[in-house]
Amino acid sequence: MHSLRNSRIPSGAGLLAALLFLTASGSCLAQAAEPGAAIAPKPLVDVTSPDAIKQIRPNYGDPVYTVDKTGIAVSLPAARANFPGIQIIPATGDAWDLTPFGHIEAKIVNTGTNTIRLTMRVDSPAANSVVSNAEIVGVHPGESKVIKVIFGYTFGFKPANVSLNPSKITQIILCLTKATADQSFRVEGLQAAGPAGEKPPFNPDDALIKPENGVILGKGAAFDPAKQVVATGAKVAPAADGALAVTLTGGKAESLKFKPPMGSWNLADANQIRVKFKNVGNTPATPSVVLASNTVSVKTPIAPGAEAEIVVSFIPAVSTVCTKEWDAKPPVMPGTGTKLESNKVKEFSILFGSTPGAKSLLITSIIADAVVDNDIPAWLGKRPPVDGEWVQTFAEEFDGPTLDYQKWNIYGHNFWDKRTHFSKDNLILKDGKAILRYEKKTGFHNDDPATKEVGQTDYACGFLNTWGKWTQRYGYFESRMKVPKAPGLWPAFWLMPDRGKTTYKGHYRVGTKVQPGVDVGNGGMEFDIMEFLSGWGPNRYNIAMHWDGYFKEHKYNGSQNIYVRPDKDGYITSGLLWTPGSAIYYCNGKEVLRWENERVSDLQEYIMYDMVSGGWDNLPLDDAKLPDDFTVDYVRVWQRKDLATPEDGPKPNKGDPSELKN
């Protein structure tokens, strides 16, 4: 359940891999406080003190650092480690109390010969974990920029999922991305500043505009053609009932580009857009609508006086195919899948055919909405999607009044948000469904007051996995699920390796790396069959494969832009067809992603369902929207007879509900 951005690397062990993907520019240093204004900034390192060097220690990458009256100079050798840099701790060795302030800032000077991408991360303690806020800035050689971390905001000044505690700031990390050349920088003016409770300045580019009832253009919608339409070879003007009048001359490059008044449209509740036209001229017209990778044209030219509608699905015309090379960037083959992010749509276009003659059209409406999947194949839930000699090996319908602990664990580790505890009371069997209910409820992780992991937290959820009780190598794994709506939730249906007790060596039992002397073949892999961030809306999820660990050697493939149409009851049915050298994913019986490579896992794997908060691209939790449910209707597994092994299937176990005891 790691994202493509590998956001689940523990804070204390290394920066989130999302640092490699997100950028944020610094803003100006705070000015000295005027009488009666905010409190004066507080320097966090006294560079004139001979003891200042004691506040600095290495992060990764064997940094060489010195302190003088100009600041902290840092030099980093090439290609030694991920996130090379320094950590700065309080002079007292304990924590800074920065309660009166709103942010930490520093001026960064690039003293090297190559552009650097520097991250500043600010940490405070949490129960058995660390809460971090961070920002990134790019700095060219010889250039200086200011980087600012506002408490409670992170990665582009977005609200953080977990609140930082300004009264207990334990360290500041300043690091770069791994590079093949030497890097160096100087830190000047590291200080706490700004008022407590500070909020980031409004950035119009970050605005997310959710059209009311999905209406982008049409009757009752606020639409300004002068600001929201870029016309090429065409003229536009407002028309009656919110329509847009378009005049064309018959040129070859006539088009319209539509954009929101600022920022992006948030179309997370939709899975398509519908554009309606009326030809009010004397010449037939042949418009097309372009949204990300999809282009849809009218089926026949719109005759004078006629009307037509173009519907563009968010589902790509060609399903996602991952590149055969494991280290390719990007990981998706050109011409497949989509880059559309429905919660951040910046633009779409309308193109007009090159037929000669002047034309006059009305675009009467543009609406983003969602449709259900009415094309569910008859085989879904009954067999795998391909022919062969298949045998059903696992079927859990959740029909009984109690869970079978010979198959399932309801307690386990929480490696992720550290503010969610797993509780038996939040796994509910009802109406033939297993419900993982997420709610604000104080309790201990795994219902154990003596637990040292996570401890007592304010949010509870259910948990399910078959670790130590059931595994299978290869086969078809399918589950029908309904995802939650409340913002900030992160449910998933996934597989992880289990080498079994006989080869258990610490965490290697479930590790995704090839273990010398243990693995005969390719080694394990994390299969995220359906990983969902509720901030994306119910029509999009992530599919990913991760292997070779989660740190320096980590590799991945997949796509976070898997678009679907839920069935009439709001469920999606996600499946993985896993065979030697191949992983093919389905939703509602239709292929949505495939990866073919010899590195595909050849180890036994177990099934897992969980739901925590956060995620790499999610919204903050909203307690008012809780409780909310991740509902599992069934999970069914088949095995192809020629791929079956004696290791497949149930494992002897104690029937204990905790994975930690099996």
Domain boundary at 201, 219, 240, which? 201
Pair (458, 548) in one structural domain? yes
Kindly state the average pLDDT of the residues 15-43. 44
- Residue-wise pLDDT for 240-274, tens only, equals 999 999 999 887 789 999 999 999 999 999 999 99
Pair (196, 212) in one structural domain? no
Give the confidence band of 505 by pLDDT, cuts at 50, 70, 90: low
List CB contacts of 517: < 8 A, sequence separation 6 or more: none
- Residue that is written with structure tokens 């595909």 in the block: 600
First to last CA, the chain: 22
Q: What are the backbone angles phi and psi of residue 426, rounded to the nearest 5°?
A: -105, 10
Torsion angle of the four alpha carbons 523, 496, 571, 625, in this order, in degrees rounded to the nearest 10: -140
Pair (456, 329) in one structural domain? no
Domain boundary at 171, 201, 231, which? 201
Kindly state the average pLDDT of the residues 319-336. 86
Q: Which of 26-30, 338-342, 394-398 has the lowest mean pLDDT?
A: 26-30
Residue 10 lies in a domain: no
Is-contact 384 593, C-beta < 8 A? no
Give the confidence band of 37 by pLDDT, cuts at 50, 70, 90: low
- How high is the pLDDT of residue 60? 87
- How high is the pLDDT of residue 203? 86
Is-contact 268 485, C-beta < 8 A? no
Pair (318, 425) in one structural domain? no
Pair (214, 193) in one structural domain? no
Provide the pairing of β-strand 85-88 with 56-58: antiparallel
Kindly state the average pLDDT of the residues 123-128. 82
Quote the number of domains for the chain. Answer: 3
Domain boundary at 172, 201, 230, which? 201
- How high is the pLDDT of residue 330? 77
- Does the pLDDT of residue 570 top 50, yes or no? yes
Pair (409, 293) in one structural domain? no
Alpha-carbon distances of 307 from 189, 289, 311, 322, 360, rounded to whole Å: 64, 15, 14, 40, 12
Q: What is the CATH number of the domain that holds 162?
A: 2.60.120.430
Is-contact 385 575, C-beta < 8 A? yes
Residue 12 lies in a domain: no
Burial class of residue 123 (count of CB atoms within 10 Å of its CB; 0-12, 13-18, 19+): buried
Taking only Cα atoms into account, the Rg of the chain, rounded to an integer number of angstroms, comes to 27
Q: What angle do CA 59, 62, 67 make, to 5 degrees?
A: 75
Pair (329, 425) in one structural domain? no
Pair (402, 478) in one structural domain? yes
Residue 60 lies in a domain: yes
CA atoms of 81 and 67, how far apart (whole Å)? 23
3-state secondary structure of 641: helix
CA atoms of 178 and 77, how far apart (whole Å)? 10
Question: Average pLDDT of the chain?
Answer: 90
Q: What angle do CA 649, 652, 656 make, to 5 degrees?
A: 110
- Does the pLDDT of residue 291 top 90, yes or no? yes
- Residue-wise pLDDT for 436-478, tens only, equals 999 999 999 999 999 888 878 999 999 999 999 999 999 999 9
Kindly state the average pLDDT of the residues 288-309. 96
Kindly state the average pLDDT of the residues 373-396. 98
Pair (343, 422) in one structural domain? no
Kindly state the average pLDDT of the residues 417-433. 95
Q: % helix / strand / coil in the chain, to the nearest 5?
A: 5, 45, 50
Give the confidence band of 661 by pLDDT, cuts at 50, 70, 90: confident
More confident residue, 576 or 355: 576
Q: Which residues are registered as beta bridge partners of 199?
A: none
Q: Which residues are registered as beta bridge partners of 530?
A: 493
Kindly state the average pLDDT of the residues 222-239. 96
CA 295: distance to chain centroid? 26
Kindly state the average pLDDT of the residues 404-429. 94
Range of the domain at 457: 390-661
- How high is the pLDDT of residue 13? 30
Give the confidence band of 38 by pLDDT, cuts at 50, 70, 90: low
- How high is the pLDDT of residue 297? 96
Is-contact 42 205, C-beta < 8 A? no
Residue 7 lies in a domain: no
DSSP 524: -
- Residue that is written with structure tokens 């085989």 in the block: 379
Burial class of residue 83 (count of CB atoms within 10 Å of its CB; 0-12, 13-18, 19+): buried
- How high is the pLDDT of residue 12? 32
Pair (212, 196) in one structural domain? no
Render 177-192 in DSSP notation, one character per residue: ---SS-EEEEEEEEEE
- Does the pLDDT of residue 325 top 70, yes or no? yes
Element housing 226 (H / E):
helix 225-228
Kindly state the average pLDDT of the residues 343-359. 91
Pair (583, 651) in one structural domain? yes
Sign of CA dihedral 512, 513, 516, 520: positive
- Does the pLDDT of residue 55 top 50, yes or no? yes
Is-contact 463 412, C-beta < 8 A? yes
CA 103: distance to chain centroid? 26
Tokens of 87: 């950590």
- How high is the pLDDT of residue 353? 78
Residue 654 lies in a domain: yes
More confident residue, 202 or 311: 311
- Does the pLDDT of residue 113 top 70, yes or no? yes
Kindly report the number of other CB atoms within 10 A of residue 327's CB atom.
9
Pair (451, 576) in one structural domain? yes
Residue 375 lies in a domain: no
Element housing 227 (H / E):
helix 225-228
Kindly state the average pLDDT of the residues 374-384. 97
- How high is the pLDDT of residue 59? 92
Burial class of residue 94 (count of CB atoms within 10 Å of its CB; 0-12, 13-18, 19+): exposed
- How high is the pLDDT of residue 17? 31
Residue 304 lies in a domain: yes
CA atoms of 265 and 348, how far apart (whole Å)? 11
Alpha-carbon distances of 343 from 421, 533, 587, rounded to whole Å: 29, 11, 21
> Strand runs (DSSP E) across 242-389, as ranges?
244-248, 255-258, 264-265, 272-279, 287-291, 294-297, 307-313, 320-321, 348-352, 359-369
Q: Which of 140-149, 300-309, 548-557, 592-601 has the lowest mean pLDDT?
A: 548-557
Q: What is the CATH number of the domain that holds 461?
A: 2.60.120.200
Residue 2 lies in a domain: no
CA atoms of 365 and 277, how far apart (whole Å)? 8
CA atoms of 88 and 102, how far apart (whole Å)? 19
